[in-house]
A and B are shown apart, each in its own frame.
Chain A
Amino acid sequence: MNKTSTELDIIKYIYNELNQEEKAQINYQTIVSPKTLELMCGLRNVKDSLDNIMLLPKDSIINNIKNFSKSFNLTKHGFVK
């Protein structure tokens, strides 16, 4: 397994896109290769960091949307005659 294909597989691994056999192969690699283990941990940390930047819009924006839905009327808005 070359370096690039291992890195691509690790990315698929952390995003849960490998089958059981491929996962086992990567697990084995992390045991025999400290560099693979380090890369796996590093990329997992990045993934965790990305999870922490979920943003929220202003409440007024959400209220506008909810109010639009309540006032939206198919007949009134010309969708039904």
Chain B
Amino acid sequence: MLKTELSDSCLVSLYVKGNEEALSVLIDRHKSRIFTTIYLIVKDKYIAEDLLQDVFIKTIKTIKCGKYNEQGKFLPWIVRVAHNQAIDHFRKAKRNPRITLQDGSDIFNCLKFSENFTESNNLTKNSVQYIKKIIHELPEKQREVLVMRHYMQMSFQEIAKSTKVSINTALGRMRYALIRLRKKIKTNKIAYE
């Protein structure tokens, strides 16, 4: 059993040498962040799962073919691959899918929560679902910056460069997104009280 404290870089090196368990650790370590990033862009659990598979298949091929650049960090690299896949899909589809199940229930209810969501958290399951819903309601540009900064862990400078806007514009979009979420969370809390 591989020690999970090994760095991503060590795990990639082991995987290059044929250690399949190293890939397993990498996947288990980062699957949630990558899946959440994709899901918040495409807004469809099943498409997000398909894209997640595509991302890892691309990763496996890139590493096994010796094309992976060791100089970069693994997580920012793979999250960027995931983001590009999701954006490509979004552009191809040219639509904003909202999935409702046959019984009329919300697709959010089908999502499995990560270990992060435990009873020790202050938020209830309903609150978590509500937050996912209001993230989806954000204007696209604001949601994009939020996903890039919070889930992809890109700096505001990197986001500005990637989205071809000034850093103040990127920050301004994040500001609107967070303030909007804050207001809605506050209103929702008051409504429940």
Contact = CB atoms under 8 A, between A and B. Distances in A.
Interface string A1-17: 00010011001100101
Interface string B18-56: 001001100110011101100100000000110011001
Contacts, number: 116
Contacts of A8: 168, 171-172, 175
Contact of A55 (B32, B65, B182, B186): B32
Contacts of A46: 178, 181-182, 185
B interface SS class: helix
B131 A72 contact: no
Which of under 10, 10 to 19, 20 to 34, or 35 or more describes the interface residues of B?
Answer: 35 or more
Interface in A1-37: 4, 7-8, 11-12, 15, 17
Contact of A69 (B20, B113, B122, B149): B20
A45 B32 contact: no
A43 B175 CA distance: 9
A66 B20 contact: yes
Interface of B: 20, 23-24, 27-28, 31-33, 35-36, 39, 48-49, 52-53, 56-57, 60-61, 64-65, 111-114, 116-117, 121-123, 127-128, 131-132, 135, 146, 149-150, 155-156, 168, 171-172, 174-175, 178-179, 181-182, 185-186
A58 B114 CA distance: 11
Contacts of A52: 116-117, 121, 123, 128, 131
Nearest to B146: A50
B167 to A, nearest CB: 9
10 contacts: A8-B171, A50-B181, A53-B132, A54-B33, A57-B35, A57-B49, A57-B112, A58-B49, A65-B57, A70-B20
B114 A56 contact: yes
A42 to B, nearest CB: 5
